[in-house]
Amino acid sequence: MTYCLAIRVDDGLVFASDSRTHAGVDYASVYSKMHRFELHNDRHIVLLGAGSLASTQAVVNFIRRDLENPGALCSLNSVSYLFDAATYVGEVSVRVQEQHWPSMQRSGFSAEASFILGGQIQGQPHEIYLIYPQGNYITASVETPYLQIGETKYGKPILDRMAAPGTSLEDAARCALVSLDSTMRSNISVGPPLEIEIYRQDSFATSHYLSLDTSSPFYSALKSQWSEGIRNAFSMLPRFDWE
C-alpha cells in the first residue's frame, strides 16, 4: 500500500508521501514515491505515485525520457498549463497500464496506478491534480484543498479539520505529517521514511525538502507532542450527566 497527499494553500503547496512498497506481506521494500524533476526555470512540478510499482516506475521513466528527448511530442517542459501536464501524465499512465494489462489480469494482479501532480508554471496559479488510473483527473477546491492517493481514510479526518486555504505552509506540512502518522499507526503497509516537500508559490523551486525516519528528532517530537495533545484534548471532553 501507499499513502501520498498534497495540500494546496494560498501560500503554496505541500507534498507528502510514505516509502513502503510490498509484493505480498512477505516482500516489503523502501521506495521513494515522490518524484521531482529538473525543469526549466519557469516551472516546478512534483509527482506522487501509488498503485503498481512497475506501472509508476515506468510512467516516471517515460516522463524523464521525454524530458531528455528534444523531439518528444510532449513533455513536462513543453506543456503550457498544469492541466496539460496532468493530461500528459494520464496518457502515459494509461499507455503503460494497457501494455501489461492482459498478462497482469491473467495472473490476478492489477496494473493500476494513480498519481498526484502539483506545481506551478509561470504566470499561472499553483495547483494540484489527482490523476486516476483511467487517465482522467480532478483538482482540489477551496472547500477541500487537499488530494490523497493510496490508503486515504485513516489520515483524512485531520485534513478535514485543519487544512484550509489560509493555513500556513508549515502548518499544512505538520498536518500532512500527522495525517501520515495516523495512517502508519493503523496500516502496517504504509511506512517510513516520510518525504515532505514544501513549495512556496512563484518560487519555481523547492522551498524545503525533508526525508524523516521514525528516529529523526523532529518526527519523534511531533509524534509525542501530538499524542500528548490528543490526550489533553480527550481529558477536556464534557462529562456525562451521571459523572
Chain residues binding a second copy by CB under 8 A are 153-154, 156-158, 160-162, 170-171, 173-175, 178, 182, 185-186, 208, 218, 221-222, 225-234, 236-243
Least distance CB 24 / a second copy (angstroms)? 22
Min separation Cβ 242 and a second copy, Å: 7
**Residue corresponding to grid cell 525533508:** 210
Least separation in angstroms between CB 208 and a second copy: 7
The DSSP-derived string for 181-218 is HHHHHH-TTS-SPEEEEEEETT--S-SEEEEE-TTSHH
Nearer to a second copy, 111 or 158 (CB): 158
Minimum CB distance to a second copy smaller for 25 or for 236? 236
Q: How far is the CB of 195 from a second copy (least distance, A)?
A: 15
Beta-carbon contacts of 213 under 8 Å, excluding residues fewer than 6 positions away, are 192, 193, 219
Residue closer to a second copy, measured from CB, 42 or 228: 228
Closest approach, Cβ 67 to a second copy, in A, equals: 30
SS3 of 226, please? helix
Cα–Cα separations (whole angstroms), residue 83 to 41, 45, 64, 111: 18, 12, 18, 24
Q: Is the Cβ of residue 65 or residue 185 nearer to a second copy in the bound state?
A: 185
Q: Which is nearer to a second copy, 27 or 242 (CB)?
A: 242
